[in-house]
Chain A
Amino acid sequence: MTVTTERPGPVFRIDMLWNDSRYRSTFLQIIALVAVMLSVLWLVNNVVENLAALGKEFSFGFMNTPSSYDINQRLIEYSSRSTHSTAAVVGMLNTLLVAVMGCILATVIGVLAGVLRLSKNWIVSRLMTVYIEGVRNVPVLIQILLYAAVFDEVLPAPSAFRGETPEATLLLGSIAATNRGFYFPMPIFEGGSFWVVAAFVAAVCAAVWFSRFGTRRQQATGEHLPVFWINLGVIIGVTLLAYLVMGRPISLEYPELAGFNFKGGLYARNSLVALWLALSIYTGAFIAENVRAGIMAVAKGQTEAAYALGMRPNWTMRLIILPQALRVIIPPLISQYLNLTKNSSLAIAVGYMDVTGTLGGITLNQTGKEMETILLLMVFYLAISLSISFVMNLYNDQVKLIERTTVTGGGFSVLHLFAGVSGKWETLKRGDAKMHDNYGVAGWLNLVVLLYGVTFVLMLYYVFIDDIRDSYWTWGTGHKLIALSLMVLSGATMVTCIFKNARFVDLAALELVVFILAVLIGLPFGEIAFGASTVLVVFGGLAARLASIAYTVFAPRPNVTYFNRVRPEAAS
């Protein structure tokens, strides 16, 4: 036998690190990494040195002391005796309120303006061009101030509504537009109104079922049912009937002038309305451009084909163009939502008490804890932005073109562990899914959503809002971490389940692990579930989680399959 020895390579010399292409890139990357780490270290060190030089201690203990200031708009109970952490939560909720309202209105404005800018009507399309180019190119802060100033100066003071011949009157006899805000009539729920609400919910459920029935029927027979009008009739009719039968238990409370201001009714402060309108109109202009780009990205042949089939223009837009345009529109739309949310931190300009105003404003100022409050603020905005990205990416997964890849787009998935039992999972195209027997919506999945939804809401309440016990800042580190991760994971699991994304199973498995950890560490689950039996909650929760996972993996119609990820039938 002959032994072949490899020719010995050149001996490694130190200069080969930058001369030899085999080592150069690695060497440079290591240098870059060290440089980055050193600069981070320098920053941290600088902070530590400076805090020490100022004699300031880094601690979050102040979050548990009374805030001593009032906040005008509060969605949860709050007074000047509440803690700084409650004040921060009040601010966060205000931020979320204006962000959610803003995203909805901006989308509506953006889609309308984007479609109208492509209109063949010269005036309409030019008007939209003027709106988009005008609004997009003026800083949003100036627009916020503009709307607030207009409300302050143009709308009448509440005193103008007083007297025999008042200078101002209520709009439609029920809405007061003042320079402090808008007062709307507010529904008052009295005894028996529960049944009216229940009837409404039942009618909506029935309507959802009926529209699905309508779709199936149309797919099977080609016959089109007037689903929309029937549903509208059912919802209004059933609710109205319950309302009359129960003896009109819901009444409207109208705003009335009392003292300095109006009292009663629903009060939307000018700061909120100005901020909301400014952010929506500003972001709407950007979304309009995204929508226009998306529509123009759909080949003209699609429109022509639709017309050739005899479709009306509005159907063509709704059924042919927009669904295809969405996959171009969604990714930039995500960043517009993020922009809107982050821009809402300009709220203090009009005195809207968002989280930058409470935690990053008054709390920072009254306690002098700049480092801590700004860190918390950054964590908050980061969490919100990542959540929005997460949800929108799931939505993007649904509408984008799907390629035949592995079930979860590569990478590890719990689903693969069960491949031997449940059969291999593959991703099918949307059209394939429709041909599939397993296609459809099983109501059981709603229960799974409900399970994680309830967990999420309870944990959210427990971590952030429930101030009666000791607050989050007094807990031990393990307790904090577990409670937070359980909250985050249950929320993420719920959302993936809503979007029927196969990653649901992975998140659910992780959530199960954290749930077990939480049980071991002794999270007071009875207390979290508003005084239910702890044993019941723990074992019920465990059983429900296992059942959910098993259902989605093994059930015959596991509807993580609805949109893009389908398990082939066991037989095929």
Chain B
Amino acid sequence: MKTSVFIGSLAAAGLAAGVAAAGTLEDVKAKGFVQCGVSSGLAGFAFTDAAGNWDGFDVTMCRALAAAIFGDANAIKFTPTTGKTRFTALASGEVDVLFRNTTWTYSRDTDLKFDFVGVNYYDGQGFMVPKALGVNSAKELDGATVCIQTGTTTELNLADFFRANNIKYEPVPIETNAEADAKYLSGACDVYTTDASGLAATRATFEKPGDHIILPEIISKEPLGPLVRHGDNAWGDVVRWTYNALLIAEEKGINQANVRDLAAAAQADPEINRLLGTEGEYGAMIGLGKDWAVNAIAAGGNYGEIFEKYVGVNTPIGLARGLNALWTQGGLQYSPPMR
């Protein structure tokens, strides 16, 4: 008899020990900060500055999320993850959201039980080689030694690309971007392959970036975006609309400098009013305050500002907007209407 009571209470304990599958927003509010999974270090996207603070394209978007929830862009903690550890970190509840150059794929969205809430960078896989090799096309890479980050989609694309073109290669699996740098620069690999943005970011950190070229072939679609655990729709909505707010802000000309002024009083454009909380109760619909979007935008600026600050053409990384321009400027960045 006693044993069955034991087992019963045990089962209850087991239930209590379950992962935080639902109510992430409440959990986050209760603990007072967002736990954000980021890359273990990729110039422009996620890096630590001289003072040891996290900064970068992905990091700032995550800070915008913290600002939207708490009104404080520093109410956030970062967990650096590798290509291998990121999914386990998210699935186990170690992080609340993953902002880490992660490609949206079918199986990750479905089988791995995650939800991608948007695409903050449209990318594709490319190859970087030293100029001295005299290679002009990825199809000339027969027999080359290729460094890849293990546990990524690039690993799979690479296998498919070389197989489809019937050429051979020698894969060298690497855990982090920093290790891959070292291998590539010491000449232990002929080629380094990852998302084109990552290649540009990596090349920018080299002593002589001009000695390396990125080959013209882009062999895959890599829509990179933030993701959350599947099944917690309320939390997914918060992350999705914080990101969309940054897009709408750019579209409507709201930026870090003028957002507070625009939010001070109702404007002529009702969509701006809805976004900035001067009209309706839109914040409450996702469980946040009235000024959630104002705080998000004030944290690091709108999408365009963040892009130009960290990875744009005027940075050492020098990425053009390209596919990541707003839809009004021929790009793919497009937010559903705020109403």
Q: Which residues of A contact B (CB under 8 A)?
A: 34, 38, 41-42, 45-46, 48-50, 53-56, 68-72, 79-81, 149, 152-153, 157, 159, 179-180, 258-261, 263, 270-271, 348-349, 351, 353, 357, 361-362, 364-368, 370
Contact = CB atoms under 8 A, between A and B. Distances in A.
B233 to A, nearest CB: 14
Contact of B14 (A49, A270, A366, A368): A49
A44 to B, nearest CB: 9
Nearest to B3: A34
Given A34-B3, A368-B111, A49 B87 contact: no
B187 A157 contact: yes
A153 to B, nearest CB: 5
B15 interface: yes
A55 B22 CA distance: 12
A348 B173 contact: yes
A49 B175 contact: no
B155 A362 contact: yes
B77 interface: no
A362 B149 CA distance: 10
Contact of A259 (B107, B113, B142): B142
A569 B337 CA distance: 97
Contacts of B171: 70-72
A115 B108 CA distance: 56
Contact of B10 (A38, A53, A80): A38
28 contacts: A34-B6, A38-B6, A45-B14, A50-B19, A53-B18, A53-B19, A54-B229, A55-B113, A55-B231, A56-B113, A69-B159, A70-B155, A72-B172, A80-B160, A149-B182, A159-B187, A179-B187, A259-B142, A261-B144, A261-B145, A263-B143, A349-B175, A351-B174, A357-B173, A362-B151, A365-B150, A365-B151, A368-B91
Interface string B77-115: 000000110011001000000000000000110011100
Q: 8 closest pairs, A vs B, by CB?
A: A365-B151, A80-B159, A368-B112, A157-B187, A45-B14, A259-B143, A260-B144, A53-B21
B266 interface: no
Contacts of A153: 186
B156 interface: yes
B17 A49 contact: yes
Contact of B17 (A46, A71, A351): A46
Contact of B170 (A261, A365, A367): A261
Contacts of A357: 150, 173
B175 A68 contact: no
B87 A365 contact: yes
Given A41-B7, A72-B170, A152-B186, A365 B143 contact: no
Contacts of A71: 171
Interface string B170-192: 11111100000011001110100
Contacts of B88: 370
Interface of B: 3, 6-7, 10-11, 13-15, 17-19, 21, 83-84, 87-88, 91, 107-108, 111-113, 133, 141-145, 150-151, 155-156, 158-160, 162-163, 169-175, 182-183, 186-188, 190, 229-231
B10 A365 contact: no
Contacts of A50: 17-19
B190 A260 contact: yes
Nearest to B142: A259
Contacts of A42: 10, 13-14
Nearest to B190: A260
Contact of A348 (B14, B150, B170): B150
Given A56-B113, A152-B182, A368-B87, A260 B156 contact: no
B156 A54 contact: no
Contact of B188 (A179, A263, A366, A370): A179
Contacts of B230: 54-55
Nearest to A370: B88
A68 B107 CA distance: 13
Contacts of B87: 365, 368
Contacts of A56: 113
Nearest to A44: B14
A49 B173 contact: no
Contacts of A368: 87, 91, 107-108, 111-113
Given A45-B14, A49-B14, A69-B155, 13 more contacts: A42-B13, A45-B10, A46-B14, A50-B18, A54-B229, A79-B163, A260-B144, A261-B143, A270-B188, A361-B150, A362-B151, A365-B151, A368-B107
Nearest to B162: A70
A45 B11 contact: yes
B91 A152 contact: no
A68 B156 contact: yes
Task: Name the prevailing secondary structure of the B interface residues.
Answer: mixed
Contacts of A72: 170-173
A153 B184 CA distance: 11
A153 B6 CA distance: 61
A240 to B, nearest CB: 37
B116 to A, nearest CB: 14
B160 A68 contact: yes
Given A50-B19, A261-B145, A368-B112, A353 B173 contact: yes
Given A54-B19, A261-B170, A361 B151 contact: yes
B6 A180 contact: no
Nearest to B172: A351
Contacts of A361: 84, 150-151, 173
Contacts of B156: 68-69, 80, 366
A55 B173 CA distance: 31
B281 to A, nearest CB: 32
Nearest to A179: B188
A365 B84 contact: yes
A50 B160 CA distance: 35
B10 A41 contact: yes
Contacts of B231: 55
B188 A54 contact: no
Contacts of A260: 133, 141, 143-145, 190
A549 B163 CA distance: 52
Nearest to A258: B143
A54 to B, nearest CB: 5
Contact of A179 (B17, B150, B155, B186): B186
Nearest to B105: A366
A23 to B, nearest CB: 18
Contacts of B145: 180, 260-261
B127 to A, nearest CB: 13
Contacts of A351: 150, 172-174
Q: Which of A34, A54, A70, A159 gathers most chain B CB within 10 Å?
A: A70
Given A70-B158, A72-B171, A152-B188, A54 B13 contact: no
Contacts of B15: 49
Contacts of B91: 54, 368, 370
Contacts of A79: 163
Nearest to B112: A368
Contacts of A179: 186-188
Contacts of B11: 45
Contacts of B83: 365
B330 to A, nearest CB: 34
Contacts of B175: 348-349
Nearest to B135: A260
Contacts of A34: 3, 6
A404 B172 CA distance: 57
Nearest to A81: B163
Q: Which of B108, B111, B145, B183 gathers most chain A CB within 10 Å?
A: B145
Contacts of B174: 351
Contacts of B162: 70
Nearest to B156: A68
B129 to A, nearest CB: 10
Contact of B159 (A55, A68, A365): A68
A292 to B, nearest CB: 37
Nearest to B15: A49
A180 B191 CA distance: 13
Contact of B163 (A41, A45, A80, A259): A80
